[in-house]
């Protein structure tokens, strides 16, 4: 029996759950997934880095979008056009590797020469694959968390990204009016997608209570609008870019909280629920947030 939604201003359900095991590679749609204090289990647990340990993404290497990820029998399986599949044990790691993601330098684990060669061959430059060290605490921006210590792995900056189906519908309506085809949610790389709310309601609410069953719940809080880089312009099926997505967002999604940057979705942190299982269809409740 599911927990009853708490009386609140906004009632929603979880429509989709996504994890992106390797930062900037393709994601996996799941019907259920464990919530941890760093976000969804195995989300951005691995990251591709250059010879200096600096992270690389689709911004520089759009072909990363073509690398498909899957979980199978205790392994992370990576596939890419023209490549044999790469199988990595979920608990595998080799020696230490110092890496940088944005302004954070963290100690990680190297995933070995085979993985390094696989990524180097497909992406055309010397690269290595790093695994996040669970003993490391990478703290989210205290400015945006209100001084509360929240942690993440190799995500850009926060534990979760929350969007809604209505927000994507609004974008696709505007794209269609301009003569463009619709785009899929995976361009925006969310973790939790809500149904049953109006477009961009995720921008306007406080902490979200998720009923996880048998009276239990998890609590996540949107804390920062997600400013958008060029990645939403990249077609994940072809790794080719065209400007219509961000050009369309520019018309109606300039956010004064980020000095006019275009935004889509909200970065969120985990307040309660480490070890709870999130499932598609679970109830979500939240109150409006008034700054």
* CA angle in degrees (0–180, nearest 5) for 140-218-169: 80
pLDDT in tens, the chain (291 residues): 444 445 799 999 999 999 999 999 999 999 999 999 999 999 999 999 999 999 999 999 999 999 999 999 999 999 999 999 999 999 988 999 999 999 999 999 999 999 999 999 999 999 999 999 999 999 999 999 999 999 999 999 999 999 999 999 999 999 999 999 999 999 999 999 999 999 999 999 999 999 999 999 999 999 999 999 999 999 999 999 999 999 999 999 999 999 999 999 999 999 999 999 999 999 999 999 986
Backbone angle region of 184, left / alpha / beta, with phi > 0 → left and psi within -120 to 50 → alpha? beta
The 8-class DSSP code of residue 251 comes to: H
| Radius of gyration in angstroms for the set of CA atoms belonging to the chain, rounded to a whole number | 19
> Would you state the pLDDT for residue 1?
40
Is the dihedral angle over the CA atoms 180, 184, 185, 186 positive or is it negative?
Answer: negative
Query: In whole angstroms, what is the distance from residue 173 CA to residue 180 CA?
Result: 9
CATH architecture of 10-288: Beta Barrel (2.40)
Strand partners, 227: 263
**The two three-digit tokens of residue 66, written as one number:** 């073509």
* CA angle in degrees (0–180, nearest 5) for 254-172-14: 90
Q: Which of 185, 182, 164 minimizes the C-alpha distance to 173?
A: 182
**The two three-digit tokens of residue 89, written as one number:** 């044990």
């Amino acid at each position: 029996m599911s927990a009853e939604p708490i009386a609140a201003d906004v009632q929603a359900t979880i429509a989709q759950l996504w994890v992106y095991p390797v930062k900037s590679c393709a994601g996996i749609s799941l019907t259920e997934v464990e919530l941890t204090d760093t976000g969804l289990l195995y989300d951005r647990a691995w990251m591709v880095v250059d010879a200096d340990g600096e992270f690389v993404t689709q911004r520089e290497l759009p072909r990363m979008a073509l690398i498909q990820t899957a979980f199978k029998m205790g392994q992370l399986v990576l596939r890419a056009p023209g490549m044999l599949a790469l199988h990595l044990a979920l608990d595998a790691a080799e020696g230490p590797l110092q890496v940088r993601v944005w302004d954070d330098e963290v100690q990680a684990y190297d995933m070995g020469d085979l993985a390094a060669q696989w990524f180097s061959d497909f992406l055309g430059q010397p690269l290595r694959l790093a695994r996040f060290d669970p003993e490391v605490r990478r703290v989210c921006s205290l400015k945006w968390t209100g001084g509360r210590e929240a942690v993440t792995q190799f995500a850009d900056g926060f534990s979760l990204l929350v969007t809604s189906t209505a927000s994507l519908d609004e974008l696709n309506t505007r794209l269609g009016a301009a003569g463009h085809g619709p785009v899929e949610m995976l361009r925006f790389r969310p973790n939790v997608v809500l149904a049953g709310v109006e477009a961009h309601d995720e921008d306007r609410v406080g902490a979200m209570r998720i009923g996880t069953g048998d009276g239990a719940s998890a609590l996540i809080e949107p804390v920062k609008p997600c400013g958008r880089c060029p990645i939403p312009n990249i077609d994940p099926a072809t790794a080719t870019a065209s400007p219509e997505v961000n050009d369309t967002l520019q018309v109606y999604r300039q956010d004064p909280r980020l000095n006019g940057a275009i935004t889509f979705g909200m970065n969120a942190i985990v307040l309660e629920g480490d070890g709870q299982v999130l499932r598609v269809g679970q109830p979500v409740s939240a109150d409006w947030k008034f700054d």
